[in-house]
Amino acid sequence: DVKVTQSSRYLVKRTGEKVFLECVQDMDHENMFWYRQDPGLGLRLIYFSYDVKMKEKGDIPEGYSVSREKKERFSLILESASTNQTSMYLCASSILAGTYEQYFGPGTRLTVT
Amino acid sequence: AQSVTQLDSHVSVSEGTPVLLRCNYSSSYSPSLFWYVQHPNKGLQLLLKYTSAATLVKGINGFEAEFKKSETSFHLTKPSAHMSDAAEYFCVVIMNTGFQKLVFGTGTRLLVSP
C-alpha cells in the first residue's frame, strides 16, 4: 500500500515564526503536492513538484515556499506564519502519468496564534 | 476551465436508507472525474473514478456514480447507508494541463443517524 506520512498531526505556532511541514512518501512517486483545506472551500493547491528540485506554483502560493531535495520528501515552508494560514494542510503524491490518482497523507492541522 | 459544483454542503440520512450526493461538472471536453472520501481525522481516500470508459462506475464500500454527459452530472449513490459512511465527500475533476491538477468541489458532509 502507498503510504504518505506527514511529520505532525497538530501544530501550534506563533505569528511570525518560520514553520516547516514535512511529507514523505514510500512509493517512489514522481509527483508530490501540498494542499490546504478550509471549511466550505474544499482543497486548494499550494505547490506541487514533478521531480527532485522542481516545483510549480499552484492556485494559492502566496506566503508559502517548498523544497524537494529528495524524491520521497516534499516540505512546505511558511516563511513568516500569519493567522490566516491557520488551516489543515494535506500532502499527496502520485505517479507521473496514468490514472491521476493522488494518495493523501493524514494532514497537519496548523494553528497560528 | 474545468470545475465541479457540489450542490449540498450537508446531507442527512438514516441508516439503511439510500444515499445521493450530487455533483455537477463544467468542462469543455470529456472530463475525468473522481469521488474522494475523508473520514474524521483521516486523509482523503479515492472512492471511485471515471475516465471515459463505462458511464456507471462502481467504487469501494458499495458506492457507485453515473456519468451523465447530457446533464453534466456525476452523482454519487449508495443503496443503503451505514453508520461508517459518515464522512466528507469530495467530487473532483482533472484539469487538462501538462500535469495532474485536481480541482476539488467544496465537499458534502454526510451525516448518518441510527
Using a CB–CB cutoff of 8 Å, tell me whether B49 touches chain A. Answer: yes
Question: Phi and psi for A85 in degrees, rounded to 5?
Answer: -100, 5
CA neighbor of B21 nearest in space, from B32, B31, B35:
B35
Using a CB–CB cutoff of 8 Å, tell me whether B94 touches chain A. Answer: yes
CA neighbor of B100 nearest in space, from A44, A33, A60, A24:
A33
Distance from CA of B64 to the nearest CA of A (A): 17
The structural domains of chain B, ordered by start, are 3-113 (2.60.40.10)
> Which string of DSSP letters, residue by residue, matches B26-85?
E-SS---EEEEEE-TTS-EEEEEEESSS-SEEE-GGG-EEEEETTTTEEEEEESS--GGG
Q: Which residue has the higher pLDDT, A1 or A103?
A: A103
Q: Which of residues 48-77 of A touch B (CB under 8 A)?
A: 48, 50, 56, 58
Task: Tell me which chain A residues have a C-beta less than 8 angstroms from the C-beta of B94.
Answer: 100
What share of chain B in percent tops pLDDT 70? 96
- The answer on pLDDT for A70 being more than 70 is yes
Half-sphere CA count of A30, side-chain side, radius 13 A: 10
* pLDDT on residue B59: 94
Using a CB–CB cutoff of 8 Å, tell me whether B99 touches chain A. Answer: yes
Q: Where are the domains of chain A?
A: 16-99
- Sign of the CA dihedral with A13 first, then A16, A18, and A19 last: positive
Using a CB–CB cutoff of 8 Å, tell me whether B106 touches chain A. Answer: yes
pLDDT band at B27 (very low <50, low <70, confident <90, very high): confident
pLDDT band at A74 (very low <50, low <70, confident <90, very high): very high
**Taking the mean position of all CA atoms in its chain, how far away is CA B32?**
12
Question: In the CATH hierarchy, which top-level class contains the domain A16-99?
Answer: mainly beta
Using a CB–CB cutoff of 8 Å, tell me whether B40 touches chain A. Answer: no
- The answer on pLDDT for A96 being more than 80 is no
> Is A43 close to B104, i.e. CB distance below 8 A?
yes
- The answer on pLDDT for B99 being more than 80 is no
**CB-based contacts of A40: which residues, under 8 Å, 6+ apart?**
B9, B106, B107
* pLDDT on residue A1: 67
**Between chain A and chain B, how many beta carbons pairs sit less than 8 Å apart?**
51
Half-sphere CA count of B5, side-chain side, radius 13 A: 8
Nearest CB neighbour to A31, from listed B34, B100, B105:
B100
What share of chain A in percent tops pLDDT 70? 96
Using a CB–CB cutoff of 8 Å, tell me whether A101 touches chain B. Answer: yes
Q: Which of B40-44, B65-69, B91-95 reaches the highest mean pLDDT?
A: B65-69
CA dihedral B63, B20, B89, B16 (to 10 degrees): -60
- The answer on pLDDT for A31 being more than 70 is yes
